[in-house]
Amino acid sequence: MNVGGVNTTYPLGYEMRRTAAAGKTYTGNMGKTEGVKSSFALHISNEEDGTAIGSSADRNGSVTVYKPKDFDPANPVYKVKAWDSAGNVTEERMVDISKVNPGNSDYLDMFAYSSHLADSGKCPDAQGAFIGANANYNADSVYSYFNKANWFGIIKDMMQMQYDAGNLAGYAKYKQFWDFLEQ
C-alpha cells in the first residue's frame, strides 16, 4: 500500500509512528505553517472494511480506499471512507471504477480510481500523480473532498508545469496517468 501525499501538501514537520497494537492505525503530525500543527490518522486494512490499497491525509482529514472481501477484478468496486481532521467518519461509499468520470469527479472517486490503477499495476504511479496534482491544484484554496473537478485539466496543467520546469521524469509520470484518464 502506498501512503503517498502525506508530505506533499505540508512539507514542514512530518512524523509518523505506529500506535495501534494490531498495527492497523498510524498517526502523526503535518505542519501547515511554521509553528502550527494538525493531526491526522491513516486508517489501514481491517476485518470490516477490507484490504487498504491507498490512504492519504491532508488538511481536510484522511481518506482510505479498501478492496472489499467480495472484490471482483472483472468489476472493480471499492469501499472509500473519509474522516475529518477530528477523526469523525464523514463519508463512506462504494465506488464503481467503471462509473468514475475524470471530467467531473470529486476527490474520493478519483482517489479510488488512481488507487485502482496503481494497485492493479496498470499505472503504478497513478496514485502519486493524483495526490501531487491535487496538492498543487488546491495548494492555496479551501477545498473539500466532495467538490467535483475536471481532473483532465488538472493533470494536464501538472504535466505542462513539469515539462516547462524541465522535469521530464515528472512529466512522464503525469503523462502516463493522463493516458489512462483519456481511455
In a domain, 42, yes or no: yes
Report helix angle 168-182 to 107-120, nearest 10.
Answer: 100
Question: DSSP alpha helices (H): ranges in 11-146?
Answer: 107-120, 126-137
Mean pLDDT of the chain: 79
In a domain, 24, yes or no: yes
**Is pLDDT above 90 for 68?**
yes
In a domain, 70, yes or no: yes
> In total, how many domains does the chain have?
1
Q: How many CB atoms are located within 10 Å of the residue 103 CB?
A: 11
**Is pLDDT above 80 for 174?**
yes
Choice among 13-17, 107-111, 173-177 with the minimum mean pLDDT: 13-17
Mean pLDDT of 13-26: 36
Mean pLDDT of 56-78: 92
Q: What is the pLDDT of residue 140?
A: 63
Cell of 27: 498517526
Owning domain of residue 145: 6-182
Mean pLDDT of 112-132: 95
In a domain, 166, yes or no: yes
In a domain, 1, yes or no: no
Mean pLDDT of 153-172: 93
In a domain, 17, yes or no: yes
Rg of the chain in Å (alpha carbons): 16
Higher pLDDT pick, 80 / 40: 80
Q: What is the pLDDT of residue 114?
A: 97
Q: What is the pLDDT of residue 25?
A: 39
Mean pLDDT of 119-129: 94
Cβ-based neighbours of 69, under 8 Å, separated by 6 or more: 50
In a domain, 107, yes or no: yes
Q: What is the pLDDT of residue 183?
A: 80
Mean pLDDT of 22-36: 38
How far is Cα of residue 95 from the mean position of the Cα atoms in its chain? 14
